[in-house]
Chain A
Amino acid sequence: MGAILTTDRLTKNFGGLTAVNDVSFSLEQGEILGLIGPNGAGKTTLINLISGAFPPSKGTITFEGRDITREKAHTVNTLGIARTFQVVRIFSRLTALENVLAAMVDRKHKGPWSLVWDSFFRRACALTEDKEACATADSLLDFVGISKYRNEQAGNMPYALTKRLEIARALATEPKLLLLDEPSSGLNPAELTGQIDLIQKINAQGTSILIIEHVMKVIMGISHRLIVLHYGEKIAEGEPKVVYNDPLVVEAYLGGDSDAQH
């Protein structure tokens, strides 16, 4: 198996602050790669760089052999990378179903004007009456376990479930690589187990995953490999057990303002 994603000497400066510094790593096809580090280590910035939210100051990002360093967020998604956000960014005035339907549109081949054309000459009277599309969306809602909220406005759903909705929405774009930014924050212990199952189920279907997580139980349980960031630099990489006992990592967590939950 080859690498699906590679970053080479990735660096991001915000003014005088270097949020990500010279980070190189690769993510193997089908792998779950955990990304950990103390607060402010640059984990979310790294995901923002990969997903195209903003361009890096230096370095390159390669996805499936293609240079995506300068691609915009929407292009990155159509190439096969989907993401979730640390603080959920769902479409709060749309229903759960519509959130997923919005993500299922084939944007690789269709721009706005061909969608305008479609709305008059192709689709059923309304998207929510398109049986085929709704069946797919429903199966995704079911997969993440929120079918009960199908017709609920997303803004009215419990927070923990909006995290799942965001995952369903990301999956609806049929990604080859999924970037998860703290999928377990704000969940109670019972919900945590469900979340672990869900992530493993997604991975079992062949989707590679890069995951940021503070909850050690989750990250140690599901990651095939770990990368540790500290002040924007990669300080360790390898098997979870090995990394966990690495003296450098221990010091980073204990020395810094650690908020890792053991």
Chain B
Amino acid sequence: MSARLRNILLWVVALAALILLPQVVEDRYFMHIAVMAGIFTILTLSWNLLAGYTGQLNLGHAAFYGIGAYTSAILAMQTGLSPWLGLFAGGLVAALFGLMLGFPALRLSGPYLAITTIGFAEILRLVAMNWVDLTRGSLGLSGVPLLTPIQIGDFRMQFYFERDYYYVVLAAVLFTLFCIRRLIGSEFGVTLQAMRDDEAGAQSIGINPSSYKLAVFTISAFFAGFAGGLFAHFARLVSPELLALHNTFDVLTMAMIGGLGTIAGPILGAVSLTILSEALRSMEEVLKIDIRLIVYGLLLILTILFMREGLVGVIKNVWARVKGDS
């Protein structure tokens, strides 16, 4: 069997399993977790585009997530725009802010960039807290409309339950995955990685780092905003909390543990950590304490110290050993 055929088969099986999952597992709580895992997958994939493929450490990613969520929610609540369009509008507004953040980022690197991006997110969080007329401040916007039903001929799909949203988020993850895979494999993606590995070397072959950094900040922000919109219509509650630093930290922990600068890494990291954190949350009843973030911090440190290529690297090594033995 050719490698290509095997790949296609693998995709088909995985996709079929994911589509059938809600038919097998009917637990609403489980579906809720699956939806959140999907949203965080999109966030982590988009963050990784900057950090893993371009070498730009953005610690303000949660801001784009929050901007997308607020945009989509406010548009739906105040102008009655269809939430479906709102998702993309949220992405576009976030992209605009991404472009804006890209400008200072052009001249900064390392800790300077890290702290500037944190500052960007914190300022916007305070705006969300204090622009009460628009955002209702720290209470947040509740009662964000659900996604509107889709009617094609006799087929009508409504979006009430977690499993309905599961399919929406699954489609969104696949869309994101498709886009990012295409981008990374293309001339554009090679250019980003060249800049990441050696900026002066990249300039010497005609790459203008500034224009590419702006582009990639914009694209990364778009997907984060898109994820924010999904969250808004799913959770029906949007609050300044979405822009908080700890959300960015969750995302970067997922990316690092999965494997920075890979496509599979963010997916693995987001899914496994979301499941792990729910498992830890259920242990909370037994232990009487919340050890979720202690585990996150510890895992992040251990990954960087002992598992530089993350879960993807581990799987690769195991796979190579299995192949070597047979």
Contacts and interface: CB of A to CB of B under 8 A. Distances in A.
Contacts of B185: 119, 125-129
Interface residues of A, number: 44
Nearest to A126: B185
Nearest to A83: B204
Interface stretch (A13-21, A26-34, A94-102, A226-234): A94-102
Contacts of A74: 203, 206-209
Contacts of A125: 182, 185
Interface stretch (B110-118, B138-146, B193-201): B193-201
A116 B188 contact: yes
Interface stretch (A104-112, A184-192, A195-203): A104-112
A86 B101 CA distance: 35
Interface stretch (A138-146, A167-175, A208-216, A240-248): A167-175
B211 interface: yes
A258 interface: no
Contact of A170 (B204, B207, B211): B204
A91 B193 contact: yes
Contact of A102 (B194, B211, B219): B194
A66 interface: no
A78 B208 CA distance: 10
Contact of B206 (A78, A112, A127): A78
Interface of A: 51, 53, 72-75, 77-78, 82-83, 85, 89-94, 98-99, 101-103, 105, 107-108, 110-113, 115-116, 118-120, 123, 125-129, 169-170, 172-173
24 contacts: A51-B204, A90-B197, A90-B198, A91-B193, A91-B194, A91-B202, A93-B193, A93-B196, A94-B190, A94-B193, A102-B190, A102-B191, A102-B194, A103-B206, A107-B205, A107-B208, A115-B188, A118-B188, A119-B182, A119-B189, A127-B185, A127-B187, A128-B185, A173-B205
